[in-house]
A and B are shown apart, each in its own frame.
Chain A
């Protein structure tokens, strides 16, 4: 990822492989093959100091804020520990102003969270605490896995806005994983669409959104139920069918079973990816 900072959204359904991808990026999984280079260094071949460096550079926020914290521990201790481990700030007196600053950045402050355990927070507040912890080391890259899906509609927007501010004011890039295309559009600069473990389309948000090329991207965009009463007239009903099981085993395009444009070659050979119109797409329709 290069400058300027960007929010890169990865969209995919459950089982599309997004979580695996994130775990790899966070070094929570070791790949069977291939490497991940970050700033030219192989992240699976780092020494102890290298691991600390990588943690400072790359931080994460997860879906369920209640699982990020131990219920019997005070929430603020997590922030002090991060300051100690990643920034070498062991004295709490020195850590206080830095912690307070990141909390203010997410719309809280140390006074409000001091000494409290998780049950004294709402989901939105707790998610903001975990964002504060993640940005404490001023990471260059923040990885967020469905960070607002557990939050109520009324709390969701302010957390999303916090991510935009992290990009704009702290200059961090963000990999934002979600299955929700409306929030993806609201927040993202670039988008990558995964289907059954395969990248099907990637490019700038605006072009992918306004003129999707891959049939799966089109289908996803046509299926969004917008919270808009006029959706009743606008949306075309979808007819489901029972044949969706063997996709993982199919040799060709994984989407062939459901694709309205399927051609004979699609089910026998995997489509290559090609670059068209500022993006990358994997589909036989675009191979001349």
Chain B
């Protein structure tokens, strides 16, 4: 069975391209569609860390599931493609490939996914070490037991896991430990892309910094690309080269992380950055008024308009277009749109 390769030249040197992704959840009994990802596009270059930030419920994990191609009911994808370079500029569209192709060519090998809930990846009936051995076997990689032991010893040490954990069953480990097992599993085959959804949720600050330092070093060493999803702007400040800020299913601002942190353009990003509490700050800060919208019935026009201090008439009626600013920087707001009427 030969996988379906598509040669596409328009994507430059990008290793992964997500184009116009639109998806969400169907809640049949209530006839609702939760529009969690609305026309989202981004590119991932070689050897970079791209962050995806945004508040709880804005659609980050939904986007991650779509990018990885785990689309199970009630999740549906209505539009878009996710192209990934599986080597030699052979691009596969994850969304139109069959499961078998994804399992053989993509999972663990080209793209590794560390989901927010690591229990979804680990088989509760199998010991941790068997997960490592079987993943290698599945990809036809012959290694001795000793090599597997050496690999796990090294990586477990780097992420602060006791070596004994290899003999445990997943349920015998804490949530934070399981997540670190999945990190070790995800890096084993040296994938070109690592997609990590909240990789440090259930751990303390010291362990968090340890895991992130390790991921960062790994990325630099292997020159792979990484997508880091987190609601925590501290994680992004430390990890990202570029960042996408999501609000209610849209990417509202996208580009160089330093620029987004120091000179954001979108009103939501501005307020968000201003509301962040830094170490040693006591001066009174202001939050953002109101709360994020219900994605089953998002506000018309700009989804941020009910909370935006700059909202204009057009914002309440028409969805803002994305404005490109310079190279590879985008903002989705009428304030920056030339076609503003």
Determine the interface band of chain B, counting residues with CB < 8 A from chain A: 35 or more
Residue of B whose beta carbon sits closest to that of A221: B279
**Among A186, A221, A243: residue with most chain B CB under 10 A:** A186
Say whether A220 faces chain B, with CB atoms less than 8 Å apart.
Answer: yes
**19 A-B contacts (beta carbon < 8 Å):** A14-B202, A14-B204, A124-B291, A153-B276, A154-B272, A157-B277, A160-B277, A161-B285, A185-B281, A219-B206, A224-B279, A226-B278, A227-B278, A229-B237, A231-B238, A232-B238, A237-B213, A239-B210, A240-B210
B157 touches A240 (CB 8 A): yes
A223 touches B208 (CB 8 A): yes
Among B216, B261, B288, the residue within 8 A (CB) of A228 is B261
| Chain B residue contacts of A287, Cβ below 8 A | none
A185 touches B208 (CB 8 A): no
Which residues of A line the B interface, CB within 8 A? Answer: 13-14, 122-125, 152-161, 164, 179, 181-183, 185-186, 209-210, 219-221, 223-232, 235, 237-245, 258
B277 touches A154 (CB 8 A): no
Chain B 23-64 interface residues, beta-carbon cutoff 8 Å to A: 55-56
B232 touches A229 (CB 8 A): no
| Chain B residue contacts of A245, Cβ below 8 A | 162
A13 touches B234 (CB 8 A): no
Say whether B188 faces chain A, with CB atoms less than 8 Å apart.
Answer: no
B232-244 vs A, CB cutoff 8 Å, 1 = contact: the mask equals: 1111111000000
B237 touches A226 (CB 8 A): yes
In whole Å, how far is B269's beta carbon from the nearest beta carbon of chain A? 11
Residue of A whose beta carbon sits closest to that of B279: A226
How far is it, in angstroms, between the C-alpha of A185 and the C-alpha of B157 when the chains are bound?
32
How far is it, in angstroms, between the C-alpha of A223 and the C-alpha of B203 when the chains are bound?
12
Chain B 111-151 interface residues, beta-carbon cutoff 8 Å to A: none
B160 touches A229 (CB 8 A): no
Say whether B101 faces chain A, with CB atoms less than 8 Å apart.
Answer: no
Say whether B207 faces chain A, with CB atoms less than 8 Å apart.
Answer: yes
How far is it, in angstroms, between the C-alpha of A228 and the C-alpha of B272 when the chains are bound?
12
Q: Is the interface of B mostly helix, strand, loop or mixed?
A: helix
Say whether B287 faces chain A, with CB atoms less than 8 Å apart.
Answer: yes
Question: 11 new A-B pairs (CB below 8 Å) besides A220-B205, A227-B233?
Answer: A152-B56, A158-B287, A179-B205, A185-B279, A223-B205, A223-B206, A227-B273, A228-B276, A238-B209, A242-B161, A242-B162
Residue of B whose beta carbon sits closest to that of A154: B288
| Chain A residue contacts of B278, Cβ below 8 A | 182, 226-228
In whole Å, how far is B285's beta carbon from the nearest beta carbon of chain A? 5
B275 touches A156 (CB 8 A): yes
Known A153-B233, A153-B275: A242·B216 in contact at CB below 8 Å: no
How far is it, in angstroms, between the C-alpha of A232 and the C-alpha of B239 when the chains are bound?
8
B234 touches A225 (CB 8 A): yes
A237 touches B275 (CB 8 A): no
In whole Å, how far is B55's beta carbon from the nearest beta carbon of chain A? 4
B161-175 vs A, CB cutoff 8 Å, 1 = contact: the mask equals: 111000000000000
Residue of A whose beta carbon sits closest to that of B274: A157
A240 touches B214 (CB 8 A): yes
| Chain A residue contacts of B163, Cβ below 8 A | 242
B184-218 vs A, CB cutoff 8 Å, 1 = contact: the mask equals: 00000000000000000010111111111110110
B210 touches A154 (CB 8 A): no
A155 touches B287 (CB 8 A): yes
How far is it, in angstroms, between the C-alpha of A243 and the C-alpha of B161 when the chains are bound?
8
A231 touches B234 (CB 8 A): yes
Say whether B271 faces chain A, with CB atoms less than 8 Å apart.
Answer: yes
B285-302 vs A, CB cutoff 8 Å, 1 = contact: the mask equals: 111100110000000000
| Chain A residue contacts of B285, Cβ below 8 A | 157, 161, 186
In whole Å, how far is B203's beta carbon from the nearest beta carbon of chain A? 9
A122 touches B291 (CB 8 A): yes
Among B206, B237, B272, the residue within 8 A (CB) of A238 is B206
B157 touches A242 (CB 8 A): yes
In whole Å, how far is B46's beta carbon from the nearest beta carbon of chain A? 20
Known A223-B205, A232-B238: A239·B291 in contact at CB below 8 Å: no
Residue of A whose beta carbon sits closest to that of B281: A186
Say whether B158 faces chain A, with CB atoms less than 8 Å apart.
Answer: yes
B281 touches A152 (CB 8 A): no
A227 touches B291 (CB 8 A): no
